[in-house]
Amino acid sequence: MRRIVLGVLAVGAVAFLLALFQPFKGDGGEPVRVSIPKEAGVGEIADILADRDVVASATLFEVRATIGGDRGDLKPGVYELRRDMPYGDAIERLVAGPSRDIVQLVIPEGLSRREIAPVAARAGVRGDYIRASADTSLVDARDFGLQNDPESLEGFLFPATYELRAGAAAPALVRRQLAAFRDNLAQVDLSYARRKNLTAFDVVTIASMVEREAQQPRERKLVAAVIYNRLREGIPLGIDATIRYATGNWQQPLTQSQLAIDSPYNTRSNAGLPPGPIGNPGLASLQAAANPARVGYLYYVVKPGTCGEHAFSSTAAEFERDRQRYNEAREAAGGNSPTSC
């Protein structure tokens, strides 16, 4: 009986070692791109590789990395790996580090195409992004309810993390962004907006303003509600972000001359929506713009001492009270913004 037990244990040990070291394993199957985040530990890395079918077992990958002394040497980045790779080969690739042929480009939500251009350039994207993102022939006016030809692809350049070949051309990035925009817009229910006689392009325009105005995620639908309500009442939107877009001043306080600028993007002096989006919104803002909160708010102003949180109100008297509090706090701060982030 003892010999039988020892024999079973021996067979089990051999099977375990064969599964762990895979002496007869090939090079793997079809290519797969894998992104390993910064600060990821060996357990998280193992799970990512197993989920992408790069390795057969997350547990055995972690064991192999541990006994090989490689747990702390696996590097983050974007890799071109293969499905069903041997554990040793996958570990060797992650120890060597990511391929320099692939770069990650992170485009934050809300940026205008002129703000995206230097971000793309720093990532090594070749060519004129401004020119590439002005090629309106890449969108179908019928898909988005465009009544006039847009001046550019502003609004359609979806913000996301893109994995690109090093030295990718600007038109290739634009096409990737347009494809991502279509995929995300398909997730947005536009039925409520259409009942309000708004087109998909109108929703994108509203979403671009929501993206700039709402610093707190829970406020997106509230900001969108204010826009809808003001459109219904024929009240100018009064959104300074549209003036910032027209002037290119995103950072400094707006001057009186800028606030009075003669531009269709001046939503203080012009009622209705601006001619088009002022940036490129993400999915959450698109959803908020299509389905705003059902509230009666017409006004909002930043609450002093918060990180961009707003006080919303339905009457001019309530708004004036909130605005006075803001101005008093700003004056106490020496004319600086009384926010705290």
pLDDT > 90: percent of the chain:
70
Closest listed residue to residue 62, CA positions, set 31, 37, 39, 90: 90
Domains of the chain (ranges plus CATH)? Answer: 25-96 (3.30.1490.480), 102-185 (no CATH), 191-332 (no CATH)
Residue predicted with more confidence, 10 or 247: 247
The average pLDDT across 240-269 equals 94
Cα distance between residue 250 and residue 65, in whole Å = 48
The average pLDDT across 93-104 equals 84
The average pLDDT across 94-108 equals 86
Q: Positive or negative CA dihedral for 168, 36, 183, 144?
A: negative
Tell me the β-bridge partners of 311.
301
- Burial pattern 59-88, b for ≥16 Cβ within 10 A else e, equals ebbbbbbeeeebeeebebbbbebbeebbbb
- Biggest alpha carbon–alpha carbon distance for the chain: 96
Sorting pLDDT into bands at 50, 70 and 90, what band is 7?
very low
How far, in Å, are 237, 293, 314 from residue 319 at the CA level?
Answer: 14, 19, 8
Cα distance between residue 90 and residue 97, in whole Å = 11
pLDDT value of position 63: 93
Sorting pLDDT into bands at 50, 70 and 90, what band is 331?
confident
pLDDT in tens, 17-54: 444 555 445 556 788 889 999 889 999 999 999 999 99
pLDDT in tens, 316-326: 999 999 999 99
* Mean per-residue pLDDT over the chain, rounded: 89
pLDDT value of position 340: 81
Q: What is the value of pTM for the model shown?
A: 0.77
The average pLDDT across 89-115 equals 90
Beta strands in the chain (DSSP E): 31-36, 77-82, 102-106, 161-165, 299-302, 310-313
- Burial pattern 11-33, b for ≥16 Cβ within 10 A else e, equals eeeeeeeeeeebeebeebeeebe
Query: Residue 301's Cα: distance from chain center in Å?
Result: 25
Sorting pLDDT into bands at 50, 70 and 90, what band is 148?
low
Tokens of 24: 């007869």
Residue predicted with more confidence, 337 or 176: 176
